[in-house]
Structure 1
Amino acid sequence: MKNCRYSGFDIDIATEIHNRAVEFVDAENKRIESELVRLNVSNDLRQFEYLSLPMMLKLAENEILKLDDLAELDSEELMNLIGELGLDDEVEAGNIIMAARAHWFEEDKTSEDAS
């Protein structure tokens, strides 16, 4: 933020705007985390790296509470649920679902190896 004389903002104003934005994002993330706990979202879904917190909350509000719940969706269903939050590509939706299903295949492979 060295040369911050853009659109009439000086460094103090730019710093204040930045700080408020960071505070807002932190507060929103805490609110969403609290809601995820209240809605009893499983750890496997909360740790799933392909979804933002707002996406997870939207899924939880629609009773997608576990990674298996997500894995059972098809691309169109997922896009209908979280498309407004930035998921607007059916291929990307399919990739998210396949990533959610990955543990199914790992479990199958483990079962086969044990046989």
Structure 2
Amino acid sequence: MSIGSKVRKYREVKGMSQEDLAFRLDVAQTTISSIESDKSIPNSILLHKIAQELDVDINEILDEGKTNINTVERNEGVINVDTNIGTLNMLSEKLIEQYEERIKELKEQIDYWKSKAEAGK
């Protein structure tokens, strides 16, 4: 079961909507949706916060620890691919970069609207 599927499962067990979880984590609902649909993987900080909000051990979300076996289908058959925490961390670092870039853009927008508001006074 993927990280996103597990987040959805534990969220539903807690009786939370995506909006509820997003509000508690101070992220957009689309972030939760993207995680649950496996379009993105949460960075380690967000994953830790998700586990805390859902009252579940982070290892439960990460398939009980260090190794997650994914099945990849190919024309010649099915092969198993080991994906370790190092890969997850590399993806997390990329997501952190993306989040930092988005935060920078949002701060610029906030500054712009603050200056507009101050000019209108």
Query: Where on the TM-score scale, by shorter chain, does this alignment land: which range?
Result: 0.3 to 0.5
**With CA pairs under 8 Å and 6+ residues apart, which has the higher RCO, 1 or 2?**
2
Query: When you count strand as a share of all residues, which structure comes out higher?
Result: 2
Q: TM-score, normalised by structure 2?
A: 0.31
Question: Normalization by structure 1: what TM-score?
Answer: 0.32
Which structure's CA Rg is the greater one?
Answer: 1
